[in-house]
């Protein structure tokens, strides 16, 4: 599929050929739920901890005698039904992270890119390479596209662009290698620099099936 390449003033300057399997794929919303859930779970630190009866500070002495007081029977001030006592089945440190199949994650990324392309909220920008960090210039560029919430994807070498975006509360810069489903969906507009689009286009192409590979081998023979 052909896609417009624009400059920082939102004026078309060229065309680029994008892979249909990456930017024109079927949008599969159920994959968004699966992958975003995984990403958020992997970010959890899991350091929560409550104290059990054996860990609560205090004496294990029986608070008062068993009989004759007219009160309920208690064996310790640290029991879970006493004020300041231990917690039963409370949270303990644990690892929440897990992995989904690689093909599922890649399919979700293709769906997210295709969603933004279909909504006309994907912008491939040429010559967005500031010579020095400038938040003011970054705001001016984003205003040309009427993009209040924007994810800007570039290469690792585009350091000044990243520094220009860094101080904007409703925008974020990511190197192409860190592109993910959660950030694509979080921001309304997706900007990709011309230097990063080729790598993304090639990286997320649909992998040929075994049957297709076998047919190619037969043709080669």
Task: Note the pLDDT of residue 29.
Answer: 95
Distance of alpha carbon 64 from alpha carbon 194, whole angstroms? 77
Task: Note the pLDDT of residue 208.
Answer: 61
Q: Is the pLDDT of residue 211 over 90?
A: no
Distance of alpha carbon 211 from alpha carbon 219, whole angstroms? 12
The predicted model gives 11-34 an average pLDDT of 93
Q: Is the distance from CB of 65 to CB of 119 less than 8 angstroms?
A: no
The predicted model gives 129-157 an average pLDDT of 94
Residue with tokens 């975003």: 36
Percent of the chain with pLDDT over 70: 97
Task: Note the pLDDT of residue 156.
Answer: 87
Q: Tens of pLDDT along 170-199?
A: 999 999 999 999 999 999 999 999 989 988
Task: Note the pLDDT of residue 52.
Answer: 93
Angle separating helix axes 29-43 and 102-118, nearest 10 degrees: 120
Give the pLDDT band of residue 209 (cuts 50, 70, 90).
Answer: low
Q: Tens of pLDDT along 55-107?
A: 999 888 899 999 999 999 999 999 998 888 999 999 999 999 999 999 999 99
Residues of the chain with CATH 3.40.1370.10: 2-28+100-211
The predicted model gives 209-218 an average pLDDT of 72
Task: Note the pLDDT of residue 210.
Answer: 73
Give the pLDDT band of residue 168 (cuts 50, 70, 90).
Answer: very high
Q: What is the CATH number of domain 2-28+100-211?
A: 3.40.1370.10
3-state class of 174 per DSSP?
strand
């Amino acid at each position: 599929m052909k896609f417009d390449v624009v400059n920082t003033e939102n004026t078309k300057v060229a065309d680029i050929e994008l892979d249909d399997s990456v930017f024109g794929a079927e949008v599969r919303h159920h994959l968004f739920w699966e992958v975003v859930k995984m990403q958020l779970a992997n970010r959890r630190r899991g350091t929560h901890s409550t104290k059990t009866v054996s860990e609560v500070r205090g004496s294990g002495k029986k608070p008062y005698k068993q009989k004759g007081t007219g009160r309920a029977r208690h064996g310790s001030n640290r029991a879970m039904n006493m004020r300041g006592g231990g917690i039963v089945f409370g949270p303990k440190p644990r690892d929440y992270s897990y992995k989904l199949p690689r093909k599922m994650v890649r399919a979700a990324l293709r769906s997210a890119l295709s969603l933004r392309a279909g909504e006309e909220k994907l912008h491939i920008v040429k010559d967005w390479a500031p010579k020095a960090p400038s938040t003011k210039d970054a705001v001016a560029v984003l205003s040309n596209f009427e993009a209040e919430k924007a994810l800007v994807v570039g290469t690792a070498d585009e350091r000044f662009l990243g520094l220009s975006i860094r101080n904007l509360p409703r925008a974020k810069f990511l190197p192409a290698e860190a592109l993910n489903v959660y950030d694509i969906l979080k921001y309304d507009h997706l900007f990709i620099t011309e230097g990063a689009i080729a790598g993304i286009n090639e990286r997320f192409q649909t992998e040929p099936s075994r049957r297709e590979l076998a047919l190619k081998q037969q043709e080669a023979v």
